[in-house]
Structure formats: structure tokens, C-alpha cells
Copies of this chain bind each other. A is one copy, B any other.
Amino acid sequence: MPRAGLDRGVVVAAAATLADEVGLPNVTMSVLADRLGVRTPSLYKHVDGQADLGRRIAVLALTELGGALRDALQGRAGKDALDAAARAIRSYAVAHPGRYAATVRIDADEPDEQLVAASARVLDSLSAVLVGYPVAPEDRIHALRMLRSLFHGFAVLEAAGGFQLDTDLDASFAWIVTAADHALRGR
């Protein structure tokens, strides 16, 4: 039997795309193994169980999201930057619901080096949006948390189908970003 040529990276990537297709909770070791043309226990040669796999998907997602944010923010400032960041987050969550869902279940047990690094980069990018706004230094942490809550909440609700009318969602999102812009500017 020829080797399948697996690799930790390949396994995690396959799990991530599988999660995007069928939903994170449905990413079972069996179907992942099937997808990779291998028997279930073989996965344990590359990944340390299901929890480890989920954590690695989250790291992958945060890394990708951080890159997307960095790209989106190139040369932008103020409302332009806010808008770009908001769109980047939302489209990532829509395009990769499984990966995005993996970032939610982190549970601050065992900080995990890579994971905090990846999320720090996301936070740095998001924090860069604030430089164009008149927020006092001691308030930046609050403003950052507001943006996180707002965008994350919208993404979670949209992914869960929590909004009744799917129509107007784009309009709502644009309105919300504008409102956030006003909140950050006028005080």
C-alpha cells in the first residue's frame, strides 16, 4: 500500500475546508480520514486528537484572517480603514464559516503560543484602524473591544441565520459600520 503522503499541514488544511463545507461540528475523524483516503487511526500520527485539531484550525483561521486584514488595510485610514476591516472580517466569516467557528471555541485554558500570536496579529490590525480616530490612549482598549464585539457578533448571528430577512443584510452592515464610525469620531 503506497503512502498517502500526509502531513500535519495537509491534515489541518483538509479539516478546515471540510469544516467550511459541512460545518465544524460535523468534522468527524472518520469523514476526515475518508476525505484523505486513509483509515481513522492514521490521523493520530499527525494530530493529537480532536481538540488539538480544532485548535490548529483556529490558528490557521486567525492567521488567514490576520493576513486578509493586513491586506485590506493597506494605505487606508479613518472610515475607509474601518470599512475595509469590517468587510474583510465579514467576508472571511461568510466564505469560511467552519474555520471561523473554530476561532470561537477557544476557552482560555492553555494559552497556546501559536494561537495567542495569531490572534494578537488580528488584534493589531484591528487596532490599527483606530489610529485615524480621536480616541484617548486609555480608551483604545475599550474601542477595540467594541469593534471586536460588534463585528464578531454580526458574524456569529449571520452564520447562525439569526437575522430574519437575509435581504437588507448588506444595508444593515453598511449602516452599522457608519454608526461605529460616528461612535468613534463624535464624542
Contacts and interface: CB of A to CB of B under 8 A. Distances in A.
Contacts of A104: 156, 160
A95 interface: no
Interface residues of A, number: 37
A27 to B, nearest CB: 15
Interface string A110-128: 0000000000000000000
A171 interface: yes
A179 B144 CA distance: 12
Interface of A: 104-108, 139, 141-143, 145-146, 148-154, 156-157, 160-163, 165, 168, 171-172, 175-176, 179-180, 182-184, 186-187
A108 B57 CA distance: 25
Q: Which of A108, A146, A182 has the most CB of B within 10 A?
A: A146
